[in-house]
């Protein structure tokens, strides 16, 4: 008799609770259900039996909030669909901090693992190394999907440990898409990631006519330039010494010094183009540096460097060039003086 009364009371409570919850907003209903589940086992059992109070949106909220136990409970409900394209659970979970949530989803037979490839890309981009490791352990996930976009994403964000993990998987090719992983890491100044990628023999720093070092030079990334110049796989003098031309044009003195210290770089290229270019732009420190190298001739091409500096009114540059005994300000029938006069530069 008492069992019947308890059962009847339980059913009445369930009906009243159900009717009460139906008039609440979804957010309020979720909060009340969560509170009731924590009250006692009886209330937990009643709440868990209210199947029509739950929706796929609750799955999404559990994943976004990192609520492992809530998700574990929700995944026991047959009426919910964790593989719904509307909520994209695995994709969202892969960006979060909870590896356990990703594990729960991977273990659910209803999950559509076609989303796994995108999941590892998103996890790699966010630097979620533990999640990437978990996804790599699942044979249904392909870390080389979309032309090895996972390692490209991790390298581009400078997530060195994630890149290291991906490199340990034989399915991943760090040189894919024209060595895009190295190019992106270098262009963003991620030196440790660049160092790691260069340690892999499959990566080619000279790809695309040594474009990587030229872009690093122009952007003034001296540490990246230094890393790229280690070893013999990259030629800093490629494309008619584009690297040193770029360094001089952008007035990156430190990089100019790095390049000049490398025997592969042709210092007097194009009749000492570097010092002529620096003089025309008035880059004092770069000129001072160039003059310290015996290979550089400031009087080349009929003293064109001082002619350019004079015609543009770079007084300090002219003074610096004239301090070098090789420079002749009277060359070509006093052309430097005539250039200065033509430009109305009296102080030169």
Q: Tell me if 20 sits within 8 A of 46, measured CB to CB.
A: no
**Under a CB-based contact definition with an 8 Å cutoff, are residues 128 and 94 in contact?**
yes
Tens of pLDDT, residue by residue, the chain (348 residues): 455 444 555 565 556 555 555 556 666 666 666 665 667 666 566 666 665 567 898 899 899 999 999 899 899 989 899 999 878 999 999 999 999 999 999 999 999 887 889 999 999 999 999 999 999 999 999 999 999 999 999 999 999 999 999 999 999 999 999 999 999 999 999 999 999 999 999 999 999 889 999 999 999 999 999 999 998 898 898 888 889 999 999 999 999 999 999 988 876 666 688 899 999 999 999 999 999 988 889 999 888 899 889 888 899 999 999 999 999 877 665 565 555 545 544 455
Residues contacting residue 122 through CB under 8 Å, at least 6 positions apart:
91, 94, 95, 153
Quick check: 215 and 184 in contact, CB under 8 A?
no
Domain extent listing, the chain: 86-176, 267-347
Question: In the CATH hierarchy, which fold is given to the domain comprising 267-347?
Answer: 1.25.40
Q: Is 55 exposed, middle or buried (0-12, 13-18, 19+ CB in 10 A)?
A: middle
Which pTM does this prediction carry? 0.80
Tokens of 21: 């919850």
Does the domain at 86-176 match CATH 1.25.40.20? Answer given as yes
**86-176 and 267-347 share one fold:** yes
């Amino acid at each position: 008799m008492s069992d019947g009364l308890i059962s009847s009371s339980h059913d009445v409570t369930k009906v009243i609770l159900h009717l009460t919850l139906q008039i609440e907003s979804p957010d309020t209903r979720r909060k009340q259900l969560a509170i009731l589940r924590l009250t006692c086992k009886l209330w937990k059992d009643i709440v868990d039996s209210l199947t029509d109070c739950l929706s796929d949106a609750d799955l999404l909220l559990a994943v976004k909030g990192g609520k492992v136990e809530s998700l574990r409970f929700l995944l026991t409900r047959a009426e919910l669909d964790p593989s719904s394209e509307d909520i994209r659970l695995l994709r969202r979970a892969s960006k979060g901090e909870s590896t356990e949530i990703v594990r729960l989803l991977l273990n659910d037979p209803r999950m559509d693992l076609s989303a796994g490839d995108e999941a590892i890309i998103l996890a790699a981009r966010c630097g979620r190394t533990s999640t990437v490791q978990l996804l790599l352990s699942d044979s249904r996930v392909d870390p080389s999907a979309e032309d090895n976009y996972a390692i490209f994403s991790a390298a581009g964000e400078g997530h060195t440990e994630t890149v290291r993990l991906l490199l340990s998987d034989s399915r991943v090719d760090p040189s894919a898409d024209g060595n895009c992983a190295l190019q992106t890491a270098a262009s963003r100044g991620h030196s440790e990631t660049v160092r790691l990628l260069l340690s892999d023999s499959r990566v080619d720093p000279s790809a695309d006519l040594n474009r990587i070092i030229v872009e690093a030079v122009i952007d003034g990334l001296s540490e990246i330039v230094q890393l790229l110049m280690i070893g013999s796989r990259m030629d800093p003098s490629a494309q008619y010494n584009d690297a040193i031309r770029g360094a001089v044009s952008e007035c990156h003195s430190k990089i100019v010094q790095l390049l000049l210290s490398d025997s592969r770089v042709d210092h007097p290229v194009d009749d000492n183009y570097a010092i002529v270019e620096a003089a025309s732009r008035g880059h004092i420190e770069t000129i001072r540096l160039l003059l310290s190298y015996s290979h550089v001739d400031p009087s080349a091409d009929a003293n064109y460097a001082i002619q350019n500096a004079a015609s543009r009114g770079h007084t300090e540059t002219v003074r610096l060039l004239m301090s070098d005994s090789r420079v002749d300000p009277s060359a070509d029938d006093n052309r430097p003086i005539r250039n200065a006069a033509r430009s109305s530069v009296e102080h030169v």
